[in-house]
Each structure stands twice: as C-alpha cells, then as structure tokens.
Amino acid sequence: MNPLILDGRKVAQSVKDNLKVQINELKSHGITPKLATILVGNDEASKTYVQMKANTCHKLGMESERVFLPEETTTEELLDVINRLNNDDQVHGILLQHPVPSHIDERLAFDTIALEKDVDGVTSHGFGATTFQLGAYPCCTPAAILQVIDFYNIELEGKHAVVIGRSPILGKPVSMMLLNRNATVTICHSKTENLDEVVRQADIVVAAVGRPKFVKGEWLKEGAIVLDAGYNPGNIGDCDYDTCYPKSSAITPVPGGIGPVTISMLLKHTVEAAQTQLNVSKKQTNVS
C-alpha cells in the first residue's frame, strides 16, 4: 500500500479559505488585517520571501507594509522601527526577516516586537508562552507541522515523536507543541549518538536539521510518519525522499509539504491578532 502524501498545498488552501471569511467579517467592522515585514540588508532570497508574503496578503484582501532598511542599519535604528510598528494600531503583525546583518543584535530586535504582534513566534516571551500554552502565537513552521497533523487527523497522543533539530524557531518549539498534545518526544541534534537507532524507534519523525537528504529510509521503522520541515537549495528536504517514501505510512513532499502551510500560518496569526484587537476594542466600548 502506497504511503499517504501529506499535501501541504491542500492544507494551506483550506487555511486561506477560512481566512477569507474571517477577513471579510473584520472588514465589516472597519478593520483590515495588516502584516508589517522588516528586511535589513540586500539578501536576495529574503527579498523574494518578503515579496511572496506581500503577494499572499493582497490575494486574501489583507494589507502589507514592507520596510526595507540598508545593510548598515544599527541595532538602535532597527529597534526604533520596531517600536514605531508596535505603536501603530493599523499594524496587527510584525515580522523581522531572518537573517539580519551580523552586527545587529538579532535577539534584542526579536524581543522588542510586542507579544500581541509577534505573529512569527520569535520572541523569548512568546516561546515561553507557547510552552506553557498561554495563547501566544507559535513559530510558523511548527504551527504548520501541527496544522498538517490536524488536517490529516494524525493521532499524536501516546505516540513517540522524534524531532531532529533544536533551533529556537523550529526544533525546540515543535517539540514543546507535540509534548503539549501528549506525544512522547525525543529531541535529537548534531551531538546525538546512534541517531539512526533513535529515529528507528519513532512513530513520527520531524526532520528539522537543515541538511539535505540527511534522514535515510533505513533509519525509519516500517510505517513511520515523516514530516520534513527542511528546505535546502534545489528544493530538497532534510529527508531522502526516495528511500523514506517506501518505509513510511505518510510523508510530506518537498516542495509542496510544510512550506506552503508555513506562510498560511503567518497570515492566520495576523488575522487572529486583528480579531483580538477588535475584541479588546469591543470590551473597552462596553465598559465605557
């Protein structure tokens, strides 16, 4: 029996269809969800990502603001821009495009983003709130992984999930999110000994290591579910798809798997932030 292909494009379209309804409802109250994206420097790939996000916003009827800053921008100048956007009631979500030039204190910049506008889940406070299930917006790629899992009704409770990768915006948060859904989670990384043996115990494998074709089919136990969050040059994932496919019961392709859902989650968080602003405004009106 062939594995189930976990089609991220189908999942992303489902998210966008729901967002269109929510956006129209918000507009009826005079609010248009708006995402502000900040790009520091001249990285061509980052420019492409920013343009893609803006295009998707406009297709859904959202607004976008793109702030382009020169390579020599200082940390202080970047913080000034972030604070301006924090204080702009027309902006509901803020995204600082990674990476920023090396002379900038990226962590300080991320943590300056107001929590209620941290739609990319990059603040330290946001990570903590996600871990404790306090309602913050999670990082978008981990959110996309969970969205795919839910769309295809993949059971998590009691399952052993092995996450390969420990980055603060992918491996660590997705591990906490899976744990909060009652999966048993093992986090692996570059220092893990006998990695193939650990992966072979997994019901669910999340590949988030940033190395092309790193996870081999012979590492998988028969029927494992493979969620490949990697995206390397040449549209190659972190899993060796050709060898992982026959061993798995379900697998995400690259491209067309987690990637399309990631962008849709960014927009979903922005719309939710706009809805929260509307709800707060209604409460304040009722009180007054």
- Parts of the chain belonging to CATH 3.40.50.720: 140-258
Are 43 and 73 in contact, with CB atoms under 8 Å apart? Answer: no
pLDDT in tens, 120-138: 999 999 999 999 999 889 9
What is the spatial distance between Cα 110 and Cα 119, in angstroms, rounded to a whole number?
11
Please report the pLDDT score of residue 274 as a whole number. 97
Please report the pLDDT score of residue 284 as a whole number. 73
Q: For the domain covering 30-114, report its CATH number.
A: 3.40.50.10860
Are 147 and 269 in contact, with CB atoms under 8 Å apart? Answer: no
Q: Mind telling me the catalytic residues?
A: 53, 97, 120
What is the greatest pairwise CA distance in the chain? Answer: 65
Please report the pLDDT score of residue 231 as a whole number. 87
Are 162 and 202 in contact, with CB atoms under 8 Å apart? Answer: yes
> Tokens 């594995």 correspond to what residue?
3
Indicate the CATH number of 140-258 among 3.10.20.30, 3.40.50.720, 3.40.640.10, 3.30.420.40: 3.40.50.720
> pLDDT by residue for the chain (288 residues), tens digit each?
799 999 999 999 999 999 999 999 999 999 999 999 999 998 888 888 888 899 999 999 999 999 999 999 999 999 999 999 999 999 999 999 988 999 999 999 999 999 999 999 999 999 999 999 998 899 999 999 999 999 999 999 999 999 999 999 999 999 999 999 999 999 999 899 999 999 999 999 999 999 999 999 999 999 999 999 998 889 899 999 999 999 999 999 999 999 999 999 999 999 999 999 988 877 777 665
- Parts of the chain belonging to CATH 3.40.50.10860: 30-114
> Tokens 């939710």 correspond to what residue?
272
